[in-house]
Amino acid sequence: MQPVGAVAPLRVDIAEKTFKSAQGISVTALKNLCFEVRQGEFACLLGPSGCGKTTTLRILLGLDRQFSGSFQLPEGGSKNRIAAVFQEPTLLPWRTVEENVRLALPKELRTKNLDGLFDTLGLAGMRSLYPAELSLGLARRAALARAFATEPAVLFLDEPFVSLDGRTADQLRHLLLAVWSARPTTALMVTHNLTEALTLSDRIIVLAPRPAHVLGIFDVALPRQHRSPEATSDLLRSFHRQFPGVT
């Protein structure tokens, strides 16, 4: 797969991130967290709930600057822009689906043709609806549309398929792969769902529980189109051989 315009990888080297709780006790969330995502690669950050995955993502998104260490975002795309799909769709309820997508675009892309993207995501008939008129699954598709429309240099996804029923989540994973394959972008997705990670990613960065650090890397060598249910359960077995105790 050809990386589009991206030259540098995503490089993360966070020495430490601590939180002060309300009682003034400091909690170390991340410690010596170092990993890299190659250009055009889809990587998953896998770890148990509450291990600091979302914290890592917030740091990379520039929403949390209270940490020691450094990171480097890939360049390329349109003006080195980043895009994110949050745990909640975070659509503006007072703007239509199409306005929500276009508002996230830089000025020079505001009027670009989005027909293809909306078609791929099955949102063609919903462009003029308000988010309250969408089901959660559709709202998440709109959030995906917003992220991909910006043609980012790197895409961050924070458990975008939680609180969906199994079928809808599967459908969305396929849609995600469809839009991602159309324009492979360096992507980092946070998840605690191993099967999801094995279905979607090129490599899985396995995190240890708090304070989070990298336990190891699992490369999913099998091309995505060959990941049948049987192949996935083979992958699952070899993953468990390499990381016993990680679910």
Binding site for other proteins (CB under 8 A): 61-63, 81-84, 86, 88, 90, 92-95, 103-104, 106, 122, 130-135, 137-138, 146, 150, 168, 171
Minimum distance, C-beta of residue 141 to other proteins, in the bound complex (Å): 9
- Secondary structure letter of residue 70 according to DSSP: E
Of 55 and 206, nearer to other proteins (C-beta) is 55
Minimum distance, C-beta of residue 217 to other proteins, in the bound complex (Å): 26
Of 50 and 62, nearer to other proteins (C-beta) is 62
Torsion of CA 112, 114, 116, 122, to 10 degrees: 180
Minimum distance, C-beta of residue 172 to other proteins, in the bound complex (Å): 10
CA distance 104 to 182: 20
CA distance 183 to 137: 22
3 close to 154: Cβ distance less than 8 angstroms: no
Of 105 and 194, nearer to other proteins (C-beta) is 105
Minimum distance, C-beta of residue 76 to other proteins, in the bound complex (Å): 16
**210 vs 16, 125, 165, 190, 207, CA distance in Å?**
12, 44, 29, 15, 9
Of 175 and 235, nearer to other proteins (C-beta) is 175
